[in-house]
């Protein structure tokens, strides 16, 4: 579960998120769409604790992310507390960010072994299962530089899942890929959405994918959720003219 309550985030005088409220229910797959500069990445950066809120609260699976409870009061979260909460949040970025000096298996097992204390043989067995799931069982000994961008991104997805996160954040995960490599990555995400109960928040420009895979789609504009609906409703019959114009612009560009 993810809950933003009255979240405000500014950069200097520029208010990027204004009194933002939204919830992603446990196990839901929600896509976030909207024009460039509307604040989508800022939402993910707050969830990754790379930024702090200026107002309001963020909760992940019942724990505050922006604050912690001390003596019955909410106080700003300290680093030790955040390190624990962060373990429950998986992330996959546009750039794959794999460790170039480690083979694929090590890339996947490093965090479970060192941050969660999972025994190495157990972490390796799980990594092999995940590599099978993403269609790369034969690449476990390869180094990332030997893989295509699409394969590297599938390793990055396996690496995020190896931490058994409650919440998975996807930030334009296909944007850096050549078009012919996109389908395999989307297929893997489809399977994850269908076969796990991870709560997923996905920022994407892939409208067909958002339509196919999401339980809900949030159209975001100027720091607020303009429209929040099931994909069929949002893509076929949006309530707002702004949404209609945005969707048309994306389709015309494709």
- Window contacting ligand ATP (CB under 6 A); options: 31-39, 60-68, 131-139, 207-215: 31-39
Residue 40 touches ligand ATP, criterion: CB under 6 A:
yes
Which of 31, 38, 199, 204 touches ligand ATP by CB under 6 A? 38
The single residue listed with the structure tokens 């072994």 is 113
Nearer Cβ to ligand ATP (50/137):
50
b or e along 108-128 (b: 16 or more beta carbons within 10 Å of the residue's beta carbon)?
Answer: bbbbbbeeeebeeeebbebbb
Q: Which helix (H) or strand (E) holds 67?
A: strand 67-70
Residue 106 touches ligand ATP, criterion: CB under 6 A:
no
Which of 39, 56, 112, 238 touches ligand ATP by CB under 6 A? 39
Residue 42 touches ligand ATP, criterion: CB under 6 A:
yes
Bin 61: left if φ > 0, else alpha if -120 < ψ < 50, else beta.
Answer: left
Nearer Cβ to ligand ATP (7/163):
7
Q: What is the largest CA-CA distance in the chain?
A: 55
- CA dist., res. 138 & res. 207, Å (int): 32
- Window contacting ligand ATP (CB under 6 A); options: 35-43, 54-62, 109-117, 147-155: 35-43
Residue 67 touches ligand ATP, criterion: CB under 6 A:
no
Residue 16 touches ligand ATP, criterion: CB under 6 A:
yes
Least separation in angstroms between residue 33's CB and ligand ATP is 9
- Say which DSSP state 54 is in: S
- Window contacting ligand ATP (CB under 6 A); options: 29-37, 78-86, 120-128, 140-148: 29-37
Q: Which helix (H) or strand (E) holds 38?
A: none
- Tell me the two tokens of residue 205: 């420009």
User: Mask: binding to ligand ATP, 196-215, rule CB under 6 A, as x and -?
Assistant: --------------------
Least separation in angstroms between residue 34's CB and ligand ATP is 6
Residue 13 touches ligand ATP, criterion: CB under 6 A:
no
Residue 11 touches ligand ATP, criterion: CB under 6 A:
yes
Residue 249 touches ligand ATP, criterion: CB under 6 A:
no
Could you give the count of Cα atoms lying within 13 Å of 63 in the half-sphere of its Cβ?
15
Could you give the count of Cα atoms lying within 13 Å of 128 in the half-sphere of its Cβ?
6
Nearer Cβ to ligand ATP (186/219):
219
Size of the site for ligand ATP (CB under 6 A): 10
In this structure, are residues 212 and 198 in contact, taking their beta carbons and an 8 Å threshold?
no
- CA dist., res. 73 & res. 139, Å (int): 49
- Say which DSSP state 239 is in: S
Binding region for ligand ATP (CB under 6 A): 11, 16, 34, 36-42
């Amino acid at each position: 579960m993810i809950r933003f309550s009255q979240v405000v985030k500014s950069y200097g005088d520029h208010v990027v998120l204004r009194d933002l409220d939204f919830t992603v229910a446990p196990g839901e797959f929600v896509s976030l769409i909207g024009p460039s500069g509307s604040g989508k990445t800022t939402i993910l950066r707050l969830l990754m604790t790379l930024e702090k809120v200026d107002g309001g609260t963020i909760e992940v699976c019942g724990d505050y992310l922006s604050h912690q409870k001390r003596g019955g009061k909410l106080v700003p979260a300290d680093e030790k507390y955040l390190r624990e909460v962060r373990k429950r949040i998986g992330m996959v970025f546009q750039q794959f960010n794999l460790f170039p000096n480690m083979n694929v298996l090590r890339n996947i097992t490093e965090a479970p072994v060192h941050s969660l204390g999972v025994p190495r043989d157990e972490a390796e067995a799980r990594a092999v299962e995940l590599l099978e799931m993403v269609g790369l069982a034969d690449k476990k000994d390869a180094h990332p530089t030997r893989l295509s961008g699409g394969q590297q991104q599938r390793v990055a997805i396996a690496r995020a899942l190896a931490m058994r996160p409650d919440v998975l954040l996807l930030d334009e995960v296909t944007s850096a890929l050549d078009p012919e490599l996109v389908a395999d990555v989307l297929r893997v995400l489809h399977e994850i959405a269908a076969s796990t109960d991870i709560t997923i928040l996905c920022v994407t420009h892939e409208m067909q994918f958002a339509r196919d895979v999401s339980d809900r789609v949030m159209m975001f504009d100027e720091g607020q959720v303009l429209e929040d609906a099931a994909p069929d409703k949002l893509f076929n019959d949006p309530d707002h003219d702004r949404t209609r114009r945005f969707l048309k612009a994306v389709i015309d560009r494709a």
